């Protein structure tokens, strides 16, 4: 989180006068964010989906049929 804060303060800092530097910094931030989302998806796809498939979800409540 601190890295993201530092990255965005670097992008929108008033000391950065060059529009080219600012544009490149915005592209860098978008690429880093995209890679982060891809990484989170791969972690979910690899580990959490299998973890859910092992039956670790709470079971549905059983229905008890009354005899007539």
What's the distance, Cα to Cα, between the start and end of the chain in Å?
A: 62
CA 56, distance to chain mean position in Å, is 23
Tokens standing for 40? Answer: 């989170």
Q: What does the mean pLDDT of the chain come to?
A: 75
What pLDDT sits at residue 26?
83
Distance CA 48, CA 44 (A): 5
* pLDDT digit string, tens, across residues 43-62: 888 777 666 555 555 666 67
Residue 34 has pLDDT above 90, yes or no: yes
What pLDDT sits at residue 37?
92
Residue 65 has pLDDT above 90, yes or no: no
User: Which is more confident, 3 or 52?
Assistant: 3
Give the list of residues 6+ apart from residue 12 with CB closer than 8 angstroms, or none: 22
């Amino acid at each position: 989180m601190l890295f993201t804060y530092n990255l965005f303060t670097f992008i929108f800092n008033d000391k950065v006068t060059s529009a080219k530097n600012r544009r490149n910094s915005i592209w860098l931030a978008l690429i880093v964010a995209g890679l982060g989302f891809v990484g989170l998806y791969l972690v979910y796809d690899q580990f959490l989906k299998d973890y859910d498939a092992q039956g670790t979800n709470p079971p549905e409540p059983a229905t008890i049929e009354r005899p007539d």
